[in-house]
Amino acid sequence: MSRRLDILISIASALSAAHEAGIIHRDVKPENIIVRPDGYVKVLDFGLAKLIEKHQVPVFDSAIATFPLVHTNPGMIMGTPSFMSPEQAKGKEVDARADIFSFGVVIYETVSGHLPFTGDSVMEIIAAILYTEPEPLNEAEVPPEIKRIVEKALKKNRDERYQTMKDLLLDLKEVRRELDFRHKLEQRSQSDAALSKKQKLNTNGATETAIIKPPLKTIRMPFAGRFSYFQIFLFIALVAAGGSAIWWLAIGRGEQTVAIDPALIGSFKTYEITNWANAAGELSSTAAFSQDGKFVAFGSTETGTTSIWVRQTDEGEAIQITKDNFYNRYPVWSPNGNEIVYYSKRGNTHGLWRVSLMGGEKKLIAENVESESKPRLWSKSGKIYFQGQFNLFAAAESGDVRQVTDFPQTGTLVKIIKISPDESQIAFLIIENDNWKIKIKPLGGGQPVEISNSKKPIENLVWQPDGKSILYSQKAEEFYQIFPLI
């Protein structure tokens, strides 16, 4: 499919260039397309091509030979029947959108192996183009994004088609990037599976070797460095997804008590993990890193509505995962890194949805949740924990939702609730008497234990992957910093 897409992109690029130069091909079909041995694609035979009137002042050059003027009249059918647009089949005046329809037929045949409009005679073919819809493409064989492109290109009403070849070209390039992205995900999944199998084989009857580490020491470290709130939020998302926080123990302001492995002292560095461009007016974003730290999912208004995007942390462009024009935000990764759960507002309905990065339909996990419900953890047990306005809830894969905390909805209110990776404890942030407090308690009940108390606002907190410590962000002077709680 990738090679076929590359060829289609080259064809669309050539036709787009022709249209921008004011030329309509009017006979786009496989016979007029060749692929050289070196892979270069050429669009041939502009014999039926027509110049698009630009209504501009003509420029004359006496050195150029005069060509005969060729007119085609309305009512004259020109082109190859199976690849004609409806307006060509009717003998009407055509514009660049006729080439878009013909190219849609080429795409359909390229990905399916057969033509969308057939018949035993020319008249039957023309009747099919004018009055029947093509057989839907097999979604098991054709990516849904290509199916959508073909359906739009083959609209019988040209006002409903792509209006320019350039727009179609951009969509094809986006699909190509998505296929590359999914291919890398598949490679990662296969690599993880192979590594898991290898580790399992190594543990069967193998002799374990103890690795002795020097004891941890409690030291006092001055914290230095400044980061924007946006960068801090990125870091918290990374740690929440399983990234190592040890790199970051050297940032902040003031002093904190931290347990550090002596072998690592002096090796701490801070650096940018990844970045993306904010849309106009977008002051902050929500992000989450995959368990292996190779991908980041985030919400962005780049296309006008808030959508979920994914990109590799070290390279490549971002891929838009949700394209439904709904308000989609707060992504969280599945344990295997192949799916994302997110909050979606659809009209007056609020729900949690999941989507596979390999493609396929989005699935509703929990409906009628509270507005701006935030997924917190997709646990290894399969439960998806999310926070409503005041409490934490758990959604099972069956769709059943239960409330797992019982905080009051008046008086002292809970701002943030986070569950530990092993689902045994919760950490929560409350404001009491103008003091910002972090407390922890067993998930099944019991008295909370206060582990932090500050007059300064706290914006976020996150469990370390081992569930034994917590990081939080707090404003120091004019910037938010990261602080650890052991």
Domain boundaries, the chain: 2-53+70-178, 212-272+405-486, 274-393
Task: Give me the chain's average pLDDT, please.
Answer: 78
Q: Shortest CA distance to 103 belongs to which of 53, 35, 164, 177?
A: 164
Q: Shortest CA distance to 353 belongs to which of 373, 335, 381, 379?
A: 373
- The pLDDT tens digits for 348-381 are 999 999 998 766 678 999 999 999 999 999 999 9
CATH homologous superfamily of domain 274-393? TolB, C-terminal domain (2.120.10.30)
Count Cβ atoms below 10 Å from residue 250 Cβ, excluding itself.
Answer: 19
Q: Which of 201-210, 258-267, 458-467 has the highest mean pLDDT?
A: 458-467
* CA–CA gap between residue 337 and residue 339 (Å, rounded): 6
Q: Can you name the residues that pair with 307 across neighbouring β-strands?
A: 300
* CA–CA gap between residue 452 and residue 243 (Å, rounded): 23
Quick check: 122 pLDDT over 80?
A: yes
pLDDT at 1: 79
pLDDT at 476: 75
Chosen CATH of 2-53+70-178 out of 3.40.50.1400, 1.10.510.10, 3.40.50.12160, 1.20.58.740:
1.10.510.10
Q: Which of 253-262, 280-289, 332-341 has the highest mean pLDDT?
A: 332-341
For residues 88-99, average pLDDT: 91
Where does the pLDDT of residue 479 fall: very low under 50, low under 70, confident under 90, or very high at 90 and above?
A: confident
Quick check: 484 pLDDT over 80?
A: yes
pLDDT at 96: 94
Where does the pLDDT of residue 382 fall: very low under 50, low under 70, confident under 90, or very high at 90 and above?
A: very high
Quick check: 229 pLDDT over 80?
A: no
* CA–CA gap between residue 43 and residue 35 (Å, rounded): 9
Is the distance from CB of 29 to CB of 125 less than 8 angstroms? no
pLDDT at 266: 39
Quick check: 236 pLDDT over 80?
A: no
Where does the pLDDT of residue 51 fall: very low under 50, low under 70, confident under 90, or very high at 90 and above?
A: low
Where does the pLDDT of residue 106 fall: very low under 50, low under 70, confident under 90, or very high at 90 and above?
A: very high
pLDDT at 323: 85
pLDDT at 231: 46
For residues 158-185, average pLDDT: 89
Is the distance from CB of 233 to CB of 286 less than 8 angstroms? yes
| Tokens coding 51 | 């110049």
Where does the pLDDT of residue 105 fall: very low under 50, low under 70, confident under 90, or very high at 90 and above?
A: very high
Q: Shortest CA distance to 104 belongs to which of 47, 142, 46, 161?
A: 161
- The pLDDT tens digits for 293-326 are 888 899 988 888 889 988 888 777 788 888 888 9
**Strand ranges across the sheet with 435-442:** 414-419, 425-432, 435-442, 449-454
Say what the pTM is: 0.59
Quick check: 72 pLDDT over 50?
A: no
Q: Shortest CA distance to 359 belongs to which of 319, 314, 396, 301?
A: 319
